[in-house]
Amino acid sequence: MLRNVILAAAVAGLVVGAAVPLQSSPAEAASGCFKAAKAKYSGDYKARVAYRKECKAHWKTYKTAHAGHHWFKKAA
């Protein structure tokens, strides 16, 4: 009985872990622009560079738009 409960908990943990998205915001995706471009366009260098440039531009726009919205920032 206990073995079945432990097995069910392990399976549920794996299912929940697989369901969680890896990148939830463009800010987290910024460090992965190179890897994402390489995965998406592995054979085409020019398309990879263009995708990486667009990704970084999107990240910079997101970063500047959300610059003052930090939860732990001390009020001046």
In this prediction, residue 4 carries a pLDDT of: 82
Low-confidence ranges of the chain (pLDDT < 70): 15-31, 68-76
Going from N- to C-terminal start, the domains of the chain cover 25-67
Q: Quick one: what percent of the chain has pLDDT higher than 90?
A: 28
In this prediction, residue 62 carries a pLDDT of: 87
pTM here? 0.48
The gap between the terminal CA atoms of the chain, to the nearest Å, is: 58
- What is the tens place of the pLDDT at every residue in 44-57? 999 999 999 999 99
In this prediction, residue 27 carries a pLDDT of: 45
In sequence order, what are the residues at sequence separation of 6 or more whose Cβ sits closer than 8 angstroms to the Cβ of residue 42? 48
In this prediction, residue 3 carries a pLDDT of: 82
Cα 28 from chain centre: 5
